[in-house]
Structure 1
């Protein structure tokens, strides 16, 4: 069995180097390749990336435009030779071989479509590796209340240490492993989404096909949180809502979509610092305002 690591780089050459080095330092017990997709970094960062990685055995793919998260990773996946695809943010650091146990788990469970280890931050504090649905119930009552009242359906995300693998609605997009055939069976990442909610979307499609999304808490990795996106445009919050509205419209009828939009409008009206997002939600069909069209 072989594995393809796919790292998406956008003006984060040093973080990408550290990610690559940590993979090599904690190499999995299987054949692997490393693919770095540069999402049209600026000239200086692109030259730095090439200089930093020139002594490593890997494949660097340069996109002439910023494709966003989904399409950038799909570009890398098209060059992958592995039986499994491991998508990583550039600010991921391996602290142990957390790949081998996950591959073994996938080989034993053909009904699992994607999997992730337990996430920790730079201060070695546990961080949620999964999320719940983004739907009307969650918008109205909030995740923490639902976790308290319906713990079997909504397992606690924060300050909780799990000891056994468990299924979730969606795993975090910073570290996702798929059997390659299943990734392509469900169509890969939705390339209409530029940034945010890609993991919700693909985990939903996995579920439709009968596959589970699993957190494997018995091994871990470090996520530097925000290092891969901190240089992005200030409109990233607006982009989050654009993707949020898109995903809800994609899987729900017009009545539910309208209710979802109204709830978000009401919530935003109570937060003056986010009023600039209101036009995005009011319009509903707001993809024309996506950063995709600015090609950051």
Structure 2
């Protein structure tokens, strides 16, 4: 059994080096694979130089930055084909975890041959995050989840806290900052949806695993620390643009995974436009209030382009 720790980097070499130095002697990790997602700084050359003489560390680079999903798919394929990995521990650069966490993840994965993903519980500033795991959202929850309507009727995709009272919980989706993948199962479902540049990949991979009959497990007594959004802010430093990617990817998920009708997609566009418009009013930069367009996508069910501001 071979385990590779895969770290996706974008302009964040300092965090990557710091993490690798902490985990380099972990005996349960056979290889550390750094995937530079076509950084615009000197990350790739720096990482190659720092780990040049270390046979445990491999540094590779994507041809272009097409987002989280493409970068991680690229790495997992490399880990499978060249490093002969059975499991890949996907890790953000801005996390910390002990070797005991890896052992618990492997034990949990091997406990049931049906397991496709196992993850420890995420902490930020010493506290367990609210969204430690969640259910696959309904169309209503994905469209109205950030509105008063959803709060009024109590519609949420989050599990109740009591659900995590045992040592392990079967869940639909887990955060992507640190998780262990069964490589063959990951490749069997086609990996991450490469149309999603950033955000919603966790829900989508959870959906694909569940649809194929594979399980996702959360370890409730094993933890890791995460410096929230450090990697994301390196890629997209504008809050409005971050929300834009979230809503566009939700449209993809609604259309292609939840089979939303044209009516649902029309409503979703209106709601997302409203939320983005409301968010933009808080920015001090007037240029950010100008019209934005969603990128072209598959025209099935008519997502196409739509204006964020009118």
TM range (shorter): 0.7 to 0.9
Could you tell me whether the CA contact under 8 Å between 1:9 and 1:38 is conserved in 2? yes
Report the equivalent of 1:65.
64
Report the equivalent of 1:243.
249
Could you tell me whether the CA contact under 8 Å between 1:136 and 1:260 is conserved in 2? no
Give the alignment's TM-score, normalised by structure 1. Answer: 0.82
For residue 216 of structure 2, give the secondary structure of its aligned residue in structure 1.
strand
Query: Structure 2: which 5+ residue stretches go unaligned?
Result: 283-288, 296-301
Q: Decide which moves more: 67-76 or 52-61.
A: 52-61
Query: Structure 1: which 5+ residue stretches go unaligned?
Result: 290-296
Query: Structure 2 vs 1, CA of residues 167 and 188 (structure 1 numbering), >3 Å: closer, same or farther?
Result: same
**How many Å separate the matches in 1 of 2:277 and 2:66?**
32
User: Within 5 Å, which residues of 2 pair with 1:1-296?
Assistant: 1-24=1-24, 27=26, 30=28, 32-56=30-54, 57-80=56-79, 81-121=84-124, 123-127=125-129, 128-138=131-141, 139-140=143-144, 154-156=158-160, 162-233=165-236, 234=238, 235-251=241-257, 252-255=259-262, 256-268=264-276, 270-273=278-281, 279-280=293-294, 284-286=303-305
Give deviations 1:165-217, integer Å, cap 9, x for gaps.
11222111111211111111111111121111111111101111112222111
**How many Å separate the matches in 2 of 1:264 and 1:181?**
36
Query: Structure 2 vs 1, CA of residues 141 and 188 (structure 1 numbering), >3 Å: closer, same or farther?
Result: closer
For residue 205 of structure 1, give the secondary structure of its aligned residue in structure 2.
helix
Give the alignment's TM-score, normalised by structure 2. Answer: 0.79
**How many Å separate the matches in 2 of 1:150 and 1:195?**
25
Q: How many residues align?
A: 283
Give deviations 1:111-169, integer Å, cap 9, x for gaps.
22211101112x212223223434433243669978x9689x74136x99744211222
For residue 253 of structure 1, give the secondary structure of its aligned residue in structure 2.
coil
Could you tell me whether the CA contact under 8 Å between 1:96 and 1:220 is conserved in 2? no
RMSD between aligned residues: 3.3
